[in-house]
A and B are shown apart, each in its own frame.
Chain A
Amino acid sequence: MTAVTAPVRVAAPPRTEALRRFVRAYVRMPTGIAGLVVLVAFVALALGAPLFISQDDLNVIKATGASLAPPTAHYPLGTDQAGRSVLLLVIWGTRASLAIGVIATALTMVVGSAIGLVAGHYGGIISRALMHVTDWFIALPGLPLAISLAAVLGQGPTSITIAIAATSWTGTARLVRAQTLAVEARPFVERARALGAGNLQIVSRHVLPNVMPLILVSSTLTVAGAILSETTLTFLGLGDPTNVSWGSMLNQAFNQGAVTGGAWWYLLPPGVAIVIVVLGFTLTGRAVEAILNPRMR
């Protein structure tokens, strides 16, 4: 029995050992821990929000508070122009901002990785053509391109997601291509090819698993940028006006008199939430990057 399972056990340890080493290194980075704590807290808040916030709390017609009232015991962060609790709105807004940030990042990663893998693996004319396309997209102005796309596609989270992915896939594509080239230069890929492995098998079984950690790291940093873009586009009025998100809260605060009224309790919380979440993703991403890439330490 032990003789049969032995080879399996021999094969597993390098990866578990690497993971264990990684966790040990991560725990020693205070900024990384802080970032992770922030992320876990906000994800928990986003997932748990429906438990203590009812649709009535978010309904403009059923709101009970005064319009733009400063903080009181009942409304710890005051009320918005419709009399809803700003605190509950900020908590609810976490859901939209995180969801769009993560979905847009996933889309970015899929598109960027696919192009990077193909360009890195096939080389030659395909690689050069794809990298030219990437360079052209890098030269495009990010915010105006996203605004134009979202304006043509119409208001709403779908077009915002597409607009973010269309403007941020280039970085991933370059990164993945470089890493693919590095991995394919290693002897085990040549060995696999000598044993008769096809393109698909080399990419899916050998290259992708080695490129994956890098893709994941860069994705945490991409989420940070995606959330910033999402709030910016929503603030400019490209989001779904009935949906509660941090960007739409600031859009309404700007358009409906919170600024001229000096309603700081309405302006501060969504922005502070954005900064904290973006910092959380950035710190986490940087900590992981620093461990995986010793030159950065």
Chain B
Amino acid sequence: MTTVDPVTVEAAGDAVSAASGDVAERSDFGSYLLSKVAAAIVSFFVTLVIGFTIFSIMPSDPVAALTRGRPTSPRQLAALRRQLGVDKPVWVRFVDFLHRTFTLDLGYSYQYHATVTSLIASRIGPTLLLTGSSTLISIVLGIWLGVRSGWRHGSRLDRLSSGVSLTLWSVPTFWLGLILLVAFSVGFGPIPSLFPAGGMTSAGVGGGVIGQVLDVSRHLVLPCLTLVLVVFAQYVTIMRSSIIDELGNPYLLTARAKGLRDDDVRRKHAVPNALLPTVTVIFLQIGGLVGGAITVETVYSWPGLGYLTFNALRIPDLQLLEGTFIIFSASIIVMNLFADILYRFLDPRVRAQ
């Protein structure tokens, strides 16, 4: 959270300074957008430099790392060396790497006998389904609980939800997944086996489209639940603190003086204002969630990018790891950019001009 605050504060400052005239504001937004997009591009370039450093410079012999655990003849090794250009100077390799990345050629996975790009493309859907559904549930649950705890902070509900949030934060995601897996999938004691143990679909499910949707949702329940339990607590904390920040404001006193019920004061006046910083912070976190789902996907063999990363890790298949690293980084950068832009649209001080 500390990493996120300055951005929010900065955005808030921009929003206030932008509230000055229609034309000025529009050109202001243009330059704001331009500077944010430029920053995102620079950030992505730096990510590529770091990725290149990790995967191409740090291994003393990338070819040996690539072929570890696989029988390869000296002739194949020499061919691979030439193909990867290990003998060329570093900057030539970097330019080559940039060119390949921007033409979406992320390398070849010898483990899967497929290009990294095609592997990633086929795994993005399941990951988006898992992270998307769990994020949606977490946001609704987190905001609902955060508003209620913050509105009456110090109450029993508040103390309970703070305690639960703190405990859930301390739980390793993969372990929670394992426990839920044993409890609800393998079946334990009086609990029968309720949900499938892994994967996204079962073989031989009939019933047309509806049957398949039901089958996927049955597989989705446990991994989604695990992610929600780990993630929603953070949203509770964010929403709670921004509601508490609003509590002392005079406009709430005005609303009460008008004779509104407590519920209406909360729903119609406090929540919309408190939502503003929360939504931004939530978007800043979503980008990281895609990469954070690695352990959950591993535990439930969910066929997404995280499980792909785990399988790449076991070999280790460095080209595939590099590809997923770039995708995970890009998702964070895109979401951060989106959060910056969203803030400008959500803030009524900017819109109303």
Contacts and interface: CB of A to CB of B under 8 A. Distances in A.
A232 B174 contact: yes
Interface residues of A, number: 46
A152 B169 CA distance: 29
Interface in A158-207: 170-171, 174-175
Contacts, number: 139
A141 B332 contact: yes
B103 interface: no
A254 B331 CA distance: 29
A156 B170 CA distance: 24
B332 A148 contact: no
B318 interface: yes
Nearest to A138: B3
B175 interface: yes
A236 B310 contact: yes
Interface bin, chain B:
35 or more
B316 A141 contact: no
Contacts of B171: 271, 274-275
A224 B324 CA distance: 27
A94 interface: no
Nearest to B315: A151
Contact of A237 (B50, B197, B292, B313): B313
Which of B58, B172, B186 has the most C-beta atoms of chain A within 10 angstroms of its own C-beta?
B172
Contact of A171 (B2, B46, B54, B170): B2
B106 to A, nearest CB: 14
Interface string A8-40: 000000000000000000000000000000000
Given A148-B54, A148-B325, A253-B178, A141 B65 contact: no
B182 A259 contact: yes
Given A151-B321, A152-B55, A144 B328 contact: yes
Interface in A239-255: 250, 253-254
Given A236-B298, A259-B186, A140 B170 contact: no
Interface stretch (A64-72, A75-83, A262-270): A262-270
A88 interface: no
Contacts of A171: 2-3
A51 to B, nearest CB: 29
B17 interface: no
Given A171-B3, A237-B314, A282-B166, A148 B55 contact: yes
B4 to A, nearest CB: 9
B188 A144 contact: no
Given A142-B288, A148-B322, 7 more contacts: A136-B47, A141-B325, A142-B291, A144-B325, A237-B313, A254-B178, A282-B169
5 contacts: A141-B328, A142-B292, A148-B54, A267-B179, A274-B172
